[in-house]
Amino acid sequence: MNLAGYVIKRIMQSIPLLFLVSIISFFLIRLAPVDPLAELRLNPSITQETLDYEVQRLGLDKPVIVQYGLWLKSFIKGDLGYCTTGERVIDKLKERIPNTLLLTSVVIILTWAVGIPLGIIAAIHWRKPIDRLLTILSSIGMAIPSFFFSLLLLLFAVKTGWFPTGGLTSYNFSEMNSIQKIGDIIHHLVLPVVVLFTISLSGLQRQMRGNLLDVLQSDYVKFARAKGLDENKVIYKHALRNAINPMVTLLGFEFASLLSGAALTEYVFQYPGLGRLILEAVMKSDINLVMASLMIGTIMLVAGNLIADILLKIVDPRVEAV
Amino acid sequence: MAKLSGFDYNIKQDLIKSILKDKFARCAFFLLLILYLSVFLASFISPYSKEYSNRDKAYCPPSKIYIINEKGKLSFPYTYNYKRYFDKENFDTKYIEDRTKKYRVKYFSKGEKYKLFGFIPFDRHFYDVEKGGELYLLGTDINGRDNFSRLLYGGQISLTIGFLALLVSFPLGMLYGGISGYLGGKTDFIMMRIAEAIMSIPSFYLLIILASILPANMTSIQRFSLIVVILALIGWAGFSRVVRGMVLSIKKREFVIASEAIGASNLRTIVHHILPQTLSYVIVAMTLSVPSYILSESGLSFLGLGIQQPDASWGNMLKEAQEFINIISRPWLLTPGFLIFVAVLSFNVIGDTIRDVLDPNSKER
C-alpha cells in the first residue's frame, strides 16, 4: 500500500473513534446533576439573548438524544457556545491550544534528543556501572510526582529569583521587541519543561535501552558480528535502525501522557495551557468549556497517534494498516 | 477467579527469594514494609488523633527534642512548647521556643482513647509528652493539626487506594478482554472500538471530570469508594486490549477445545481455562501499575477533587504547599510529597524485579 492510501485509511479510521468518544463524554458529563447553564444564569453580564441562544443551541428542553445531535451539529460547525465568564469557548481554546502544543513539542524534542542517546549508552554498557547509574536515575525520575517536583522547583525559583514563578509571559510583554519576547517565553518555559522532561525522559530512556538490548541479541546482529564487522558499525548501522522503529509508535503514547501529565504541571506553574483550562473549567463546572476542551484534548491525542503511525510507515514501509 | 493454576508455589517462593536477593529490591521491600506497618498502626504510633486540632498553634514548626540538657549532661528526652508572638516589623506571626518549662517525652503512656485496628479499645501511644506539653514532630498545618499524625492517617488512604482500584480494574479488564478475544467477530470489533475510544480520552482529563461530577454531600466512606471506582475506570481499557491479544492465541490451544467439547459454557471456559493462562502477565502489569494509581489519587486530592478535608491523604496535605509563603517558610508541609516519592519508587523497583522473574526474556533492567 502506498503512503497516501495508508494516511487516508488511518484518517478514516479515526473518525468513528472520535464519534464514539464524543458520545461517551457527552453522556458522562450529562450524568452530572448540574444545570449546564447555572453559572451563566448567575453571571449578571450575560444577556438574556445569549441565554436563550444557548438553551436553543443545546436543546435543553428536548430529550437527551436530540441534545446530543444538536451539540454535535454545532460542534462540527465550530460553534462551541459561551463560557461562564461570557467569552466564546472557541476564542479561549484558540488562545490555549498553541501554548500546550508549544510546551509538549519542546518537551518531546528534548526528551528524544537526550533519551535516545542515553538509552543507547545504557544498552551498550549493559550491567556496567554507567548502566546501573542510569537505571537508578531513571527510577527516580519515574517516581517523582509531577506536582511535587513542580512545587520543589517553584521553591527553588522563589528562593533564587532566577526564574519567573508562573505564567508564560512577563507583565511588560507587550512592550518588548521580538527578540526579547522570545527570550521571555523561553525564560518562562524552563521550569515546566524541566519537570515534564525529567518525567518522560526516564520512560523513553528505558524503552530505548530495552529495544536495543533485544535487537542486539537477534540473529542478524550475531551474524554481523560473526563476519567480523566493526562493533560500532554493528550497533549504529544494523541494530540501531531496528531498535528505533518501536520508539516511533511510542511517540504517540508519549504525546498522550504529556497531555495528561502536563495538566498538573500547568496548574502549579499557572501556565496558560489546555490542561489548566480544563481544570479550571471543571472546578467552575463550566460545562461548555469542559466538553469542548475534552473533545479538543482527544482530537489532539488521536492526531498525535496518527502522526506517529504515519512516521512509522515512513521509516518502516512493511507496516500495514489494520 | 479461578485458583492460581500456572502460578504455583514454586514461583511464589522464587519471587520472594529474588526480591530479597537484589539489594535495591530488598531495600524497597523493607521500606514498604515499614510504611505499611506504620500506617496500619497509625493510631498507636501517632500521639494525636486524626481530629485533633490546636487552633492556637497554626503552622507551628516541628518541635525539637533534646537529649542533652542545658548543663551539658545526658538527660531523658524532653521538649519545649512553642510560644506564638507577633513580629511588628514584618507583620508576621512567629513562633519561639518557650524555655521556661521542660516537658518530658513519654513512651507507651496513656493518652487519647482510640480503637486499635478499628475495633480493640486501647489508650496507649508509642510516644507522647507530659501533660501540658505539645510534641509536633513535623510541625502543624493551617488548622493546628499534628502533621506527623496526619501523615500516618493519610497514608492509610494513599497507600491502599491504589490496591483497591487494582482489585476493580484488573478483573474488569481481564473479563472484558477475555470475552472480546474469545467470542471474536462482531462482538470483538465493537468491544475493542469502545475500549479504544476510552483510551483516546486523555486519562487525566477523564479522571478530573469523573471526580468533579461526584455530588458534594457524601460521607467520606462513600467518597473514598467512588474515587476507587473512578481510578479503576481509567486503567482497564489499555489492559483489556493486551489480554485480548493473549486470549486470541490461547483460544486455539487443545485444552480450550477440550473444555468446549465437554460442553462448558463460554463464561466458564473464559474464566476457568483461558484467563488463568494470562496470570503471569497480569501480575507483572498489576505491580507495575500500583504506582500510577497512587500518583493519580494524590494528584486528584492535590487539586481538591479527591479525598476531602477533614480526611487526610498525602495529596490533599500537599495542597497547602501550593502557596508561596508556605513552601518558603514552612518546608515541613512538603513531607507528604517525599513519602509519595518513596512509596512509588519502591513499588517500581519491586515491580521490575517481579518482571525479571516472571518474564525472563525482557531485559529492561
Question: What are the pLDDT digits (tens) for A253-270?
Answer: 788 778 777 888 988 888
Residue A89 placed within a domain: no
pLDDT > 70 fraction of chain A, expressed in percent and rounded? 96
Residue A113 placed within a domain: yes
pLDDT of residue B2: 40
Average pLDDT over residues A115-134: 89
Is the pLDDT at B31 greater than 80, yes or no? yes
* Same domain for A296 and A217: yes
In A, residues 270-299, which contact B (CB 8 Å cutoff)? 275, 278-279, 282-283, 285, 290, 293-294, 297-298
Which of B8-22, B95-109, B294-308 shows the highest mean pLDDT? B294-308
CA separation for the pair B147, B61 (Å, rounded): 10
Is the pLDDT at A114 greater than 50, yes or no? yes
Confidence of residue A113 (pLDDT cuts 50, 70, 90): very high
Average pLDDT over residues B154-169: 89
Contact assignment for B363 to A278 by CB distance below 8 Å: no
Residue A88 placed within a domain: no
CA separation for the pair B147, B134 (Å, rounded): 13
Average pLDDT over residues B29-37: 92
Q: Are B29 and B340 in contact (CB under 8 A)?
A: no
pLDDT of residue B5: 46
pLDDT of residue B200: 84
pLDDT of residue B3: 43
pLDDT of residue B361: 62
Tens of pLDDT along A139-177? Answer: 888 888 888 999 889 888 888 888 887 777 777 777 778
Contact assignment for A256 to B202 by CB distance below 8 Å: yes
Query: 509508535: which residue's cell?
Result: A249
Helix (H) or strand (E) holding B245: helix B220-250
Long-range contacts of the stretch A66-70 (C-beta < 8 A, 24+): A67/A30, A68/A23, A68/A26, A68/A27
* Same domain for A101 and A190: yes
pLDDT of residue B365: 44
pLDDT of residue B171: 92
* Same domain for A140 and A32: no
* Same domain for A101 and A70: no
Tens of pLDDT along B97-153? Answer: 887 787 888 788 777 777 777 777 777 788 888 777 788 888 888 888 888 888 998
Angle at the Cα of B353 from the Cα atoms of B347 and B356, rounded to 5 degrees: 140
* Same domain for A173 and A228: yes
Q: Considering only alpha carbons, which residue of chain B is nearest residue A19?
A: B197
pLDDT of residue A196: 92
Give, to the nearest 10 degrees, the angle between helix A146-160 and helix B335-358. 140
For residue B213, list chain A residues with Cβ-Cβ distance below 8 A: 28-29, 31-32, 34
Neighbours of A200 (CB within 10 A): 25
Average pLDDT over residues B28-41: 90
| Nearest residue, CB atoms, B201 vs list A25, A33, A267 | A25
Listed residue (B135, B161, B117) closest to B52, CA to CA: B135
CA distances from B119 to A53, A176, B115, B158 (A): 59, 67, 5, 22
- Higher-pLDDT residue of B170, B81: B170
For CA atoms B5, B9, B10, B12, give the dihedral sign: positive
* Same domain for A144 and A35: no
Is the pLDDT at B87 greater than 60, yes or no? yes
Residue ranges in chain A assigned as alpha helix (H): 3-31, 38-42, 48-58, 64-76, 89-124, 129-143, 146-160, 178-216, 219-226, 231-233, 240-268, 274-283, 287-315
Instruction: Supply the range of the domain harboring residue A39.
Output: 3-77
Q: Is A119 on the interface with B (CB under 8 A)?
A: no
* Same domain for A67 and A25: yes
Q: Are B359 and B284 in contact (CB under 8 A)?
A: yes
Tens of pLDDT along A3-15? Answer: 888 888 888 888 8
Q: Are B348 and B293 in contact (CB under 8 A)?
A: no
Contact assignment for B322 to A268 by CB distance below 8 Å: yes
Strand blocks (E) in chain B: 65-68, 74-87, 92-116, 120-129
Is the pLDDT at B7 greater than 80, yes or no? no
CATH number of the CATH domain containing A250 = 1.10.3720.10
Confidence of residue B179 (pLDDT cuts 50, 70, 90): very high
* Same domain for A131 and A70: no
* Same domain for A284 and A140: yes
pLDDT of residue A42: 75
Listed residue (B294, B293, B295, B281) closest to B354, CA to CA: B281
CA separation for the pair B275, B279 (Å, rounded): 7
Contact assignment for B298 to A259 by CB distance below 8 Å: no
Residue A322 placed within a domain: no
Contact assignment for B213 to A31 by CB distance below 8 Å: yes
pLDDT of residue B343: 93
For residue A34, list chain B residues with Cβ-Cβ distance below 8 A: 213
Give, as one character, the DSSP assignment of residue A144.
S
Sheet arrangement for strand B74-87: B65-68, B74-87, B92-116, B120-129
Is the pLDDT at B178 greater than 90, yes or no? yes
Task: Choose the final residue of a domain: A42, A77, A112.
Answer: A77
CA separation for the pair B194, B200 (Å, rounded): 10
Contact assignment for A293 to B205 by CB distance below 8 Å: yes
Listed residue (A210, A208, A206, A215) closest to A234, CA to CA: A215
Average pLDDT over residues B201-206: 84
Residue A86 placed within a domain: no
* Same domain for A68 and A141: no
Number of domains in chain A: 2
The three grid cell numbers given for residue B173, joined into one nine-digit string: 479488564
ipTM over 0.85 threshold? no
pLDDT of residue B36: 92
In A, residues 169-208, which contact B (CB 8 Å cutoff)? 206
Listed residue (B204, B207, B163, B157) closest to B339, CA to CA: B157
* Same domain for A138 and A61: no
Contact assignment for A135 to B365 by CB distance below 8 Å: yes
pLDDT of residue B30: 92
pLDDT of residue B4: 46
Average confidence score pLDDT of chain A: 84
pLDDT > 90 fraction of chain A, expressed in percent and rounded? 8
Average pLDDT over residues B9-34: 82
Tens of pLDDT along A15-64? Answer: 888 888 888 888 887 776 666 677 677 777 777 887 787 777 777 777 77
pLDDT of residue A115: 92
pLDDT of residue B362: 58
Task: Choose the final residue of a domain: A48, A77, A106.
Answer: A77
Strand partners, B131: none
CA separation for the pair A149, B83 (Å, rounded): 33
Long-range contacts of the stretch B328-331 (C-beta < 8 A, 24+): B328/A155, B328/A158, B328/A159, B330/B59, B330/B61, B330/B139, B331/A155
Alpha-carbon gap: B100 to the closest alpha carbon of chain A (Å): 35
User: The whole model's pTM is what?
Assistant: 0.86
| Nearest residue, CB atoms, A263 vs list B204, B298, B318 | B204
CA separation for the pair B327, B321 (Å, rounded): 6
Contact assignment for B205 to A135 by CB distance below 8 Å: no
Residue A253 placed within a domain: yes
Listed residue (B117, B224, B141, B124) closest to B149, CA to CA: B141
The three grid cell numbers given for residue A132, joined into one nine-digit string: 546501573
Tens of pLDDT along B300-323? Answer: 889 888 888 888 889 988 888 877
Residue A54 placed within a domain: yes
Burial class (CB in 10 A: 0-12, 13-18, 19+), B144: middle
* Same domain for A114 and A20: no
Residue A87 placed within a domain: no
pLDDT of residue B205: 85
Q: In this complex, how many residue pairs, one in chain A and one in chain B, have their CB atoms less than 8 Å apart?
A: 140
Angle at the Cα of B176 from the Cα atoms of B175 and B178, rounded to 5 degrees: 60
